[in-house]
A and B are shown apart, each in its own frame.
Chain A
Amino acid sequence: MRKFFPVEDLARDSRFTQINMRQAEADPRTALVGPNAGKRAKVNRLTPSRPDASEAARNLMHGIFVGEIQALEGAGRTCHDFELPDSKDPLSTDTVPFALKLDMARQAWDESRHVEISVKLGEWMGAEIGQFAENTILFEAACSNDPVMRLAGVNRALEGLAIDVFTTMKEFGEVAGDPFLEFCEDWMLADEVTHVKMGSDWLRKVTENDPERRKKALEFQSIVDRLFSFGGARSESDDSPIGLARRFRELAGFTTDEVDEIADVSLAALEARKAFSAAAMASAE
């Protein structure tokens, strides 16, 4: 079976339309700056009190659905792409312990369940499969040749984002009184916390005697965290629809300093987004 699968070759049927992060970031529009920004709500967080709450929640649910597909594909690839360690080359960077493969297999099983749950939740909310563009950034973070980079990019950054998203959606369902949304998100959230914990534990274990490799992996995670902030869509600011779920991140093995860093990175992404949009609008005048 083929190894190291490129993002362009992911299997999707005709319902799906894919975009990459560059295309998404090229969109100069934002609700946060511009001539009419002052007339909009001061708080942009995704809650049922937003006039467009149903539409925004449906859009986010579709994003969760495609994210789960890509997380399934990423975990499956990591399980398959790397060989077991060779005792003659213990410092090899392209092998993984068998127990790590088992964890990735368990994660793939979890993600496939999440895909099915997300499809049903999407139908419940009135979304159709492929209704929204699929951003492929999540799988792109899972394409590194170094398994430790994948742990940093996928398990810690991607699944960390999933913790933030599921917490936001769980609270949305709770406040709206949606009997299924809150329940399902809570269960999936528990899985995501486990996935992040697996990533945190394996990252520390595999790089135990290789501080330089660990440093590179954490730098990669920081880059991915900035990208996964989607131009400020996730941060602790009220301008962001998705908040940062500090408590669940701590349960997942993030230190307070690490969460603080993600908060800073996310806020910087939000401010960069505002500056980009303001400049685009100014140049168009």
Chain B
Amino acid sequence: MTVPFVTVTVEPEEFRFVAFDSALIRKIGESYVASLRIDRPVRIRVDETTPLGRIRAEIGDTIEVTVESGAFENAKQPRQQSEVATNINLGRILLRVSDRLHGGFAETPLDDDMSLPQMAAWETYCAGRLTRMGLRINKQRWLYNFRNRHGFTDVADAAFETLWSADNLTWSELDTISSNATLNAVPS
């Protein structure tokens, strides 16, 4: 199947508060757009006024990705860009976009309406796939996030492993795993 050429734009092109490289962000974005078969333009807006690290996406004719600058930052060197962090965090959000675009996720709530456990489950599913795409991801980081949202239990840990190693889940399957982890929690 031929994938149409899709443009990726980055705003701002030049940064004032952080030393980020918009060309690098665009290049990484284009790489994901091609590998995830995203079929429409992507605009990445970096909010450089905050050091927080939230990322979000809205899907329309153009995919609008909003990134707080902490998401692309080198935590060792404040205000400098980390290519690794840019890769991981752009990958996380574009995998979620890809899930929504490619079926099985039609009934997924909007990001703002999603519960913290649902988001943690989806993030785990994304992080596991990024690992298999070759990125070095700290698994314990995502396990801790999952436990914070589902409980520090053996049931939650088992659900985490299921999500981490999965490749073709639907939203319904993912949501069921998350719900069961919380409902059937047995303290370890």
Contact = CB atoms under 8 A, between A and B. Distances in A.
B77 A51 contact: no
A51 B151 contact: no
A interface secondary structure, majority:
loop
Interface string A127-138: 110111100000
A52 B144 CA distance: 12
Contacts of A28: 17
Contact of A126 (B17, B54, B138): B138
Contacts of B144: 54, 58, 124-126
Interface of A: 17, 19, 23-24, 27-31, 33-37, 40, 48-49, 51-55, 58-59, 123-128, 130-133, 176-179, 277, 280-281, 284
Interface string B149-167: 0011000000000000000
B115 to A, nearest CB: 11
Given A23-B78, A178-B148, A284-B17, A29 B51 contact: yes
B interface secondary structure, majority:
loop
Interface residues of B, number: 31
A54 B141 contact: yes
Contacts of B51: 27, 29-31
Interface string B101-143: 0000000000000001001000000000000000000111111
Contacts of A128: 138
Given A36-B49, A281-B49, 15 more contacts: A28-B17, A29-B17, A29-B18, A29-B50, A33-B49, A34-B49, A40-B52, A51-B54, A51-B116, A54-B145, A125-B140, A126-B141, A177-B151, A179-B152, A280-B17
Nearest to A122: B140
29 contacts: A17-B77, A19-B77, A19-B78, A28-B17, A29-B17, A29-B51, A29-B69, A30-B49, A31-B51, A34-B50, A35-B47, A36-B47, A48-B148, A51-B116, A52-B54, A55-B53, A124-B144, A126-B143, A126-B144, A131-B75, A132-B75, A132-B76, A133-B76, A133-B78, A177-B152, A178-B147, A178-B148, A281-B49, A284-B17
